[in-house]
Amino acid sequence: MNQILSVKDLQVEFFGFKALKGVNLEVADREIVTIIGPNGAGKSTLLDAIVGKSPVAHGHVEFQEKNITNHPPHEIARMGIGRKFQNPNVYNELTVFENILLALKGSHGIFASITAKLTTMKRHKITSVLERIGLMDDAGTKVSSLSHGQKQWVEIGMVLAQDPTVILLDEPTAGMTPEETHTTGEIIKAMSEFHAVVVIEHDMEFVKQIAQRIVVLHQGQTLAEGSVEEVQNNPKVVEVYLGR
C-alpha cells in the first residue's frame, strides 16, 4: 500500500517523563487507522507530535516522504494534515455555514470572510462539506443551539473544509448519544473515500463499526496492532486494556 504518513521510533518527553517511548505508525492513503489504549497511554501525545505540537526528542515523522519532524504546526496543517481536538472548537455565535466558511483555505478572518461576496466555488465547497457532515438542513442555524454531537460534526466539517490528505480525530464521539456515535462512524467511513483518517477512540462498538486496522498504545509503546479480532484476542491487550 501507498504510505502517506510514517512515524518511526517516535519519542516524546515532558520534563524527563517519557510519554512516548519509540512508537511506529504507518498510515496508507485513504486508510482508517484506529488508536486505542488506556488513559495516559500517549494517544493524544502521538497526534500532538505528528502535528508539531509536542516536541519530538527522538525518531521522526514523514508525510508524503518529507521529514516534517518538529516543523511548526501551521506549516504541517498547510501541508495537508488536519486535526480535530477532543473538545469542539467552534464559533458558537455564528451559523453552521459561517463556521465552515471561516475554515476554508484562504479565509481572512471573521469579518472579511462573512462580508465578502461568496464565489460560486466557495458556496459549492461549503455545501459539499455540509452534506458530508449531515448538516445541510442546519446551514443557517447558530452553532450555540446545536447539540453537542452536532457541534462535533461542525468541527469535523471545519477540518474537511481545508482539504487535508490526512485527518486526525481525537475521541470524536466523546459525549455523544449512541445514535450520534453511529452517525459519526458513517461520516468517518465516508471520509475515507478521499482522506486517510486516524481516530483515537475507546468505544469498542464504534471501533468495530469503523476500524480497518487498530493500533493499541500502552504506557507510551505499541502493545499490539491488527484487525479487531486480532487485537481483541491478543492476551497482552486483554490483560492491560480490554480486561479492565
- Binding residues for ligand ADP (CB under 6 A): 14, 19, 37, 39-45
Q: How far apart are CA 83 and CA 8, in angstroms?
A: 20
| Binding status of residue 45 toward Mg ion by CB under 5 A | no
Which of the 8 DSSP states describes residue 138?
G
Least Å distance, CB 197 to ligand ADP, is: 17
From 7, 23, 30, 44, residue interacting with Mg ion (rule: CB under 5 A): 44
CA-nearest of 227, 234, 224, 226 to 37 is 224
Please say which residue, 15 or 111, places its beta carbon nearer to ligand ADP: 15
Q: How far apart are CA 210 and CA 142, in angstroms?
A: 30
What single-letter amino acid sits at 78? R
Binding characters for Mg ion, 84-123, by CB under 5 A (x = yes): ----------------------------------------
Please say which residue, 143 or 223, places its beta carbon nearer to ligand ADP: 223
Please give the sequence-ordered ranges of beta strands (E in DSSP) within the chain, or none if there are none: 3-14, 17-28, 32-36, 56-63, 66-67, 81-84, 166-170, 196-200, 213-218, 221-226
**Angle in degrees, 0-180, between the axes of helices 178-191 and 120-132, rounded to the nearest 10:** 130
Please say which residue, 19 or 223, places its beta carbon nearer to ligand ADP: 19
Region of residue 10 (phi > 0: left; psi between -120 and 50: alpha; otherwise: beta): beta
Q: How far apart are CA 4 and CA 29, in angstroms?
A: 6
Least Å distance, CB 123 to Mg ion, is: 36
Least Å distance, CB 86 to ligand ADP, is: 9
Cell 470572510 appears where?
113
Please say which residue, 97 or 241, places its beta carbon nearer to ligand ADP: 241
* Stretch touching Mg ion by CB under 5 A, among 3-11, 35-43, 91-99, 188-196: 35-43
Least Å distance, CB 165 to ligand ADP, is: 23
Please say which residue, 98 or 171, places its beta carbon nearer to Mg ion: 171
Please say which residue, 45 or 184, places its beta carbon nearer to ligand ADP: 45
Q: Minimal CB distance to Mg ion: which residue?
A: 44
CA-nearest of 137, 146, 5, 125 to 65 is 5
* Stretch touching Mg ion by CB under 5 A, among 43-51, 60-68, 118-126, 175-183: 43-51
Which of the 8 DSSP states describes residue 70?
T
Q: Binding residues for Mg ion, per CB under 5 A?
A: 43-44
